[in-house]
Structures are given as C-alpha cells and as structure tokens.
Amino acid sequence: MSAPDTDKVFSGSVPKLYEEYMVPLIFEPYAADLAQRAARRLAAMRAPTFVLELAAGTGVVTRHLAATLPATASIVATDLNAPMLAMAAQIGTERPVEWRQADAMQLPFEDASVDAVVCQFGVMFFPDRAHAYAEARRVLRPGGVFLFNAWDRIDENELADAATAALAAVFPDDPPRFMARTPHGYHDVALIAADLARGGFDATPEIVTLAARSLAASARIAAIAYCQGTPLRGEIEARDATRLGEATDVAQRLMEQRFGTGAIDTKIQAHVVAVQR
C-alpha cells in the first residue's frame, strides 16, 4: 500500500518542533554514531574530498559530520523538503557546508564523484528504495561507502509505539498509522539487503542493530514531539484539525502510564547499514 501524502509533509511549525523536540529525543545519539562511522570509513581512504548527505532534515547529522570529518572532506547536505533544509541552514555548522535541495531519486551529481553517501533515517521515505540506492551507487567512487540507518520495528521503539496506541484510541475508526507505516515500516534487514542488491551493490552490507535510550524531561515533551513535530500532525489534522490538542493530551497520559510522570527513559532501536561500492 502506498503511503499517503501526509507522510512527507514537514512544513509549517513542524520543522521547528522537530528540531526542538524530536532531534534530542531520538535522533541525536544515532547522528553521532553515524558521523563517527563515516569518519572511520573515510580515514581509510586517501584524502577524501566529497561527502554527500541525503535527507539531511534539520541538520543533526550534518552538524556531527562537520565536527567529525577530516578537513579535506567537503560536505554537501541535501534534502527534498525545503522548509527542513532552511531550518538546518539557519542553525548552521561549525565549518562551511553546502546546503542544497535535491531528490535522492535523481541526484544532481556526476558519476563516481563522491567518497561517502550518508543518510540518517531517510531511506524509509524513498518511494523506490532500490532506485534511490542505485543513485547513491552511481555517484560513489569505486571503494566509496554508503552509510545509512533505519528504525527497527515499532515495538522496539517505546515512545513511537505509545504515540501510535494513543492515537488509535482517539481515532478508533481510522487510526493514524504514520509511525508504524513509514519510520518503522522498513525494519526487515533481509529486505534492506535485497534492495541494496537490486540497486547494484555487489558487496554484502554490514548491518548492525543498535539500541539506545530516548530521554525526555517529561512525557509532555515526548507527546508534543510525536504528535506535533512529525507528519503524525498531518494525519491528526486530516481527521479533525480541532483535536490536535486532545490527541497530544491523550498521548501524554498514555506515556505517563507507561513510563512515569517525571523524566522518562525509554528504549529506541535502529539498524545501521554500511555497504561499499
């Protein structure tokens, strides 16, 4: 089943709420990990010159790449979504980075021109993953590396699971399923490997399943993050825009029931993938 258009809507107040709440809640630890893995891979290359980031969002990985990669590597951070990229550029990085709107399905870069392609939690949104992987392979130099991560199944990610359950209670006849369908809908490592092979990667990918902790000062913050700082907001508002506050409140109460009324500490889990061209 194809994903609805709301799955890709990161506009209005969503980029700001995403950066303020979602990034520290679930993306920061994996961004640091991905940048460190990229740095180790590039250290084995001779004077890497070009690192390309896909689906950069509000730039959390970009900031880590800028702080971690060798000075010889220039960074171009791309995203299809202009409001998210504008937020990333506004926040900035500690060294110059080129921000560029681009579609992972049709990359505006020459063949064999890139040392590493990096993508944090973006592949789940690609309409044809094998085609996007073929594009990543096309722009990579021989010996270059494609590094990305994808969320594991939703029941291994406690806050996403709680938010989904809460919204099913608010809209029982038509529950919003964005989290299960898209961010957590590409968790099968055999499928990931098969898609990479269909995209032309001959090497066996290295796939590591990595658990981490999601910390928030309160369940309220987590509820706002999920219900208002992701495309879940579009799903809620498509059903009844007047119920966004109610949906957020219900998510907060369920999270408090599951994780407590003070600071919360919950499990998140993702697959980290590296494959060489």
Nearest CA-CA partner of 51 in 107, 97, 83, 82: 97
pLDDT for position 263? 97
> Do the Cβ atoms of 117 and 135 come closer than 8 Å?
no
pLDDT of 72: 86
What is the pLDDT, as a whole number, of residue 12?
Answer: 58
Q: What is the CATH number of domain 5-276?
A: 3.40.50.150
Give residue 1's pLDDT: 40
Name the amino acid, one letter, at 122.
G
Tell me what pLDDT residue 11 has: 45
**pLDDT in 10s for each residue of the chain, 277 residues:** 445 554 444 545 678 898 999 999 999 999 999 999 999 999 888 777 899 999 999 999 999 999 999 888 999 999 999 999 999 999 999 999 999 999 999 999 999 999 999 999 999 999 999 999 999 999 999 999 999 999 999 999 999 999 999 999 999 999 999 999 999 999 999 999 999 999 999 999 999 999 999 999 999 999 999 999 999 999 999 999 999 999 999 999 999 999 999 999 999 999 999 999 9
This prediction's pTM: 0.93
C-alpha Rg value of the chain to the nearest Å: 18
| Cα–Cα distance for residue pair 94/254, rounded to 1 Å | 39
